[in-house]
């Protein structure tokens, strides 16, 4: 009985090791920091969200990229933000801890409330 158990464990271990494909090739941290992420979903049609009055649907050229408004609103203190540029006469912010390339941009809607913009991947 013990021999059968030992053989079964050996077979399952061999099958488990044979099924492993190893770890992915790692890239240097500095390169990973600026490398764009792989898209999880392929978007086939871009339907912009209706922005609040006075906000543009799309912002071009801030941080060298194009940005599209989302339906997300953030209520954050001004101390958690830092300037990232401007869109016309409106200032554009990002979170204080975010470094280029930015994940999102924030444009003030009302005091303390910011509309989120995400990068447009072409």
Average pLDDT, the chain: 80
The two structure tokens encoding residue 64: 């060298």
Least confident range of 50-54, 91-95, 96-100: 50-54
2-56 pLDDT, tens per residue? 888 878 777 777 666 655 556 667 888 888 777 776 665 555 455 556 777 788 8
Q: What b/e readout covers 79-111, taking b as 16+ CB neighbours within 10 angstroms?
A: eebeebeebeeeebbbbeebeeebebbbbbbee
């Amino acid at each position: 009985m013990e021999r059968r158990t030992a053989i079964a464990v050996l077979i399952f271990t061999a099958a488990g090791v044979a099924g492993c494909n190893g770890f992915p090739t790692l890239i240097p941290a500095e390169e990973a920091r600026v490398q764009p992420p792989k898209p999880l979903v392929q978007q086939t049609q871009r339907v912009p969200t209706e922005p609040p009055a006075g906000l543009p649907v799309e912002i071009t050229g801030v941080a060298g990229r194009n940005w599209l408004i989302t339906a997300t609103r953030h209520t954050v203190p001004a101390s958690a933000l830092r300037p990232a540029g401007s869109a016309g006469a409106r200032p554009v912010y990002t979170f204080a801890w975010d470094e280029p390339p930015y994940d999102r941009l924030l444009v003030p809607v009302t005091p303390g409330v910011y509309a989120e913009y995400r990068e447009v991947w072409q």
